[in-house]
Amino acid sequence: MLDQPQPTNIIHSLQKLLQSSIKHESLWNVYAYVINQDIIDDQGQIDDLRAIVIPLGSFCDYKKAVKHKDKLIEETGYKYFVIAKYGTIIPITVKPDLNIIEEVTVDMQNKLIKLEHEENKKQQQLYEEKIKYEQELKLECQRECDRHHIEYFKRQAYLASLHYMTYLELQKKSKETLDHYNKYKQLLKEHHLEHPEHKDQFLPYLKDKLIKRGEHELYDKINYAYQLCQNDLLD
């Protein structure tokens, strides 16, 4: 009977594999895999099958590998793929690394069919929960119009609170804006005391400058705003 390889020999061999020369024509490799979730059967026996790994192509360019993987997903809907670089260790566990796995759906044979069935069952549950949520939301909206239901109170309390918050924010903004207005108004008045002639020169000067730049709308906006507050500015 042949001796079983010692763990140290296995590790040494694996290290050699990882250090082997890179084959650039097969630098990136696409795999599909399925893990046997039912290692122990109904009779308590351990199943020899641990996982299935399916090589699906090797590529010199990562983008080509991704394109091939995307095409396979499109055509089959399968759920688990790995794009592995040549000489890279890819752990296959019952909790796959979502950073290197693309999740979709598909069917195959035996245990794989069962896996798909479980996935479909989960999707059906999610769909039913979504329908239930939508029905609850529809009922909630109807009750919001019933003046005798708590949903009515909830809706009005929400709207009142929301508008009150907006009011407080606008009130704060209004005060800040008024403070800025008074600040610039004071600076303008101080300037006017030294150069009163600028009051009549201001708009023609501004118009000539902005019209030459093609900024007609900006001039109209400034002119309109200035006319509104002109009397108050220099009182």
List of the chain residues with pLDDT < 70:
1-24, 36-50, 79, 91-120
Tokens of 180: 């800025």
Is the whole-model pTM more than 0.85?
no
Q: CA-to-CA distance for 126 and 36, rounded, in angstroms?
A: 24
Q: CA-to-CA distance for 90 and 51, rounded, in angstroms?
A: 13
pLDDT digit string, tens, across residues 36-58:
666 555 666 665 666 778 888 88
**Domain boundaries defined on the chain:** 20-106, 195-235
pLDDT digit string, tens, across residues 76-97:
877 678 888 887 777 666 565 5
Tokens of 116: 């798909």
